[in-house]
């Protein structure tokens, strides 16, 4: 089995805690075959402030320092998690001119700027449950904008707000409450030949939220799926990845996708 973790954050991310060198060493010890770094560029930051330019310098430096540790047969990818691109597509396009990119995750972490732009992580939905359906619709509308723009390879952690609405906040809500919007997103991604991601969330749970998305994506013609642990520390690299692969198989997929030079390669499960 070719194990590819294609979502990892090093200290080149504002919330990363381990260097790329430390994470590559951990990945190889744990038996992974591939690790792709996708450090954050959020076009609006966690407070909703516009960040119109991305400085690639830390990621370049970290990558150079990790390369000498790569053992024969191990694959190291160079990517980006591009967050909140609809807030400023021009800034997003500028960041994606970086030479040598293998993989771009498109994601939404924040409410739209019209809704205040704050990261869903910082909202206490247990105290303000009435905000959950409003923010979830807003999130899906932003995702649809992102898909229609199209300069990404895989849609990252589609159920992201549910981590804070239902898992942490206890609100009885799911993506199925807005199935029409979800279908528009999945259909547009499938028709454009884009991937969606199964994010194992460092083995912390939530994979059950992906099963209906995977089945619906497949029914709408989608084929490409990437998997990543979303590690921010070396000890979390690859966590939950085998469970993500098992879920893919259970939902009728035969392949996992790895992007190289922004082109998809299908790897048999």
Burial letters 122-133, b for 16+ CB under 10 A, else e: ebebeeeeebbe
Is the CB of residue 171 less than 8 Å from the CB of residue 165? Answer: yes
* Residues of the chain falling short of pLDDT 50: none
Q: Is 155 left (phi over 0), alpha (psi -120 to 50) or beta?
A: beta
pLDDT tens sequence across 241-253: 999 999 999 999 9
The whole-angstrom separation of Cα 251 and Cα 257 is 15
Tokens for 33? 């075959």
pLDDT tens sequence across 74-126: 999 999 999 999 999 999 999 999 999 999 999 999 999 999 999 999 999 99
Dihedral sign, CA of 145, 163, 199, 70?
Answer: positive
Instruction: Tell me which DSSP letter residue 12 carries.
Output: T
pLDDT of residue 89: 98
CATH class of domain segment(s) 4-268 = alpha beta
Q: What percent of the chain has pLDDT over 70?
A: 100
Is the CB of residue 63 less than 8 Å from the CB of residue 78? Answer: yes
pLDDT of residue 219: 98
pLDDT of residue 205: 87
């Amino acid at each position: 089995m070719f194990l590819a973790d294609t979502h990892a954050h090093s200290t080149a991310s504002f919330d990363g805690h381990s260097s790329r060198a430390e994470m590559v060493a951990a990945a190889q010890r744990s038996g992974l075959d591939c690790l792709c770094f996708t450090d954050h560029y959020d076009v609006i930051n966690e407070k909703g402030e516009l960040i119109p330019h991305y400085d690639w310098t830390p990621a370049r430096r970290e990558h150079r320092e990790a390369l000498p540790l790569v053992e024969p047969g191990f694959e190291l990818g160079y990517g980006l998690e591009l967050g909140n691109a609809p807030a400023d597509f021009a800034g997003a396009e500028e960041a994606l001119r970086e030479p040598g990119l293998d993989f771009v995750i498109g994601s939404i972490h924040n409410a739209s700027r019209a809704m205040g732009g704050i990261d869903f992580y910082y909202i206490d939905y247990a105290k303000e449950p009435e905000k959950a359906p409003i923010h979830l619709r807003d999130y899906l509308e932003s995702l649809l904008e992102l898909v229609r723009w199209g300069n990404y390879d895989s849609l990252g952690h589609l159920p992201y707000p549910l981590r804070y609405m239902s898992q942490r906040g206890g609100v009885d809500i799911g993506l199925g409450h807005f199935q029409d919007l979800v279908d528009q997103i999945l259909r547009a991604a499938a028709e454009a030949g884009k991937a969606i991601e199964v994010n194992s969330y460092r083995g912390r749970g939530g994979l059950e939220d992906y099963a209906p998305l995977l089945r619906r994506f497949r029914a709408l013609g989608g084929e490409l799926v990437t998997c990543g642990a979303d590690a921010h520390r070396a000890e979390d690299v690859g966590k939950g990845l085998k469970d993500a692969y098992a879920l893919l198989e259970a939902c009728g997929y035969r392949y996992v996708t790895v992007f190289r030079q922004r082109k998809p390669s299908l790897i048999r499960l």
